Amino acid sequence: MSDRIQGIFTPNIVPLDERSRINEAELRRYVDWLIERGVHGLYPNGSTGEFVRFTAEERRRIVEIMADQTRGRVPILAGAAEANTGETIRACEYYAGLNVRAVAIVAPFYYRLSPEGVYAYFKEIADHSPVDITLYNIPMFASPIDVPTVQRLAAECPRVVAIKDSSGDVPHMMRMISAVRPERPDFSFLTGWEAALLPMLIIGCDGGTNATSGIVPEVTRRLYDLTRDQKLDEARDLQYRLLRLFDAMLYSAEFPEGFRVALNLRGIHTGPGRQPQSSVQQQSLSQLKEQLYQLMTEEGWAADLPDDDQINRIVTRVLQDLQRSGW
């Protein structure tokens, strides 16, 4: 088994063209951009990547493109959640053929399952997967994965090697680490909630899968490095500064639209998302663009942000894409 998963893995937005198809050239450019700015790994088909808004074939193509472009420079944690265990196992088999480091599988969603149901779901997949598995706990959208279930799966399933927890619940993470790590020192704990990245790293997490790392990858990498080097005063300052950006992107628009706006400001042409936007929403996003540009400039994170003329061209291009799509 490989070394345990650690570091910042970026759950990426998927750039789309004017016909709402995967923009392969821009996705490849985005992959290079992220790696050049220090992310430890990539995480396609996550919540930020809007995996539920793509077909199964598109999800496989996204990972295929990113694996080809990465060429082994960083590991890939591929989202492999499908509607049932059979399709999920087939996705695991496909991604294993692309040499991903592991797959991430969200707990069953839509139907709310008991802890026994969640255990049975992951046990069935783990018993048949040819690739390592990261459990994905996101209780706001899916059946929660409680501590006894994590402990049970870690004890019984060698293929279950990590958990990504997006609850932001520090005591919950501490209980998981306390329950699992003594028996599985190779098991990784990742936080999906960058608002608590610093405290999560301090209590023993191995890293994070954070949407903000797709916007300011150099900042999240810096926060990780500072914390690992025990430069906690600097890390704390950076955590509070990162929180401002995270809150603005998350709470000022429907997820992940705020992140899409910010990524366009950094020069990656995302195109419009697949969720239609009303005229009121479009106006709000235009206002958010100004807010995010000002915030990122104030924080000194605008070193490679476009100038005003470039910003206007980006905004015009996004609005044209929306109009062409009938939105």
Angle of helix 85-96 relative to helix 115-126, nearest 10 degrees, comes to 40
Residues 6+ apart with CB under 8 A from 95: 60, 63, 78, 80, 103, 131
Give the residue-averaged pLDDT of 57-62.
98
In a domain, 290, yes or no: no
Query: Is residue 105 a part of any domain in this protein?
Result: yes
- Look at strands 77-79 and 102-106 and give their pairing: parallel
The answer to whether position 161 is within a domain reads yes
Q: Which residues pair with 9 in a beta bridge?
A: 41, 209
- pLDDT (tens digit per residue) in 219-251: 999 999 999 999 999 999 999 999 999 999 999
To 5 degrees, how large is the angle CA 307–CA 308–CA 309?
95
| 177 part of a folded domain | yes
* 270 assigned to some structural domain: no
In a domain, 184, yes or no: yes
Q: pTM of the entire structure? A: 0.90
Range 77-89 burial, b when 16+ CB lie within 10 A, else e: bbbbbbeebeebb
Name the residue range of residue 50's domain: 7-232
Q: What is the pLDDT of residues 266-323, one digit of tens each?
A: 999 999 999 999 999 999 999 999 999 999 998 877 645 444 444 445 445 544 554 5
- What are 84-127's pLDDT values in tens digits? 999 999 999 999 999 999 999 999 988 889 999 999 999 999 99
**Is residue 303 included in any domain, yes or no?**
no
Structural domain count of the chain: 1
Inside any domain, residue 157: yes
**CATH code (residue 81):** 3.20.20.70
Task: List C-alpha distances in Å: 134 to 11, 36, 79, 252.
Answer: 14, 25, 9, 30
**What's the whole-number average pLDDT of the chain?**
92
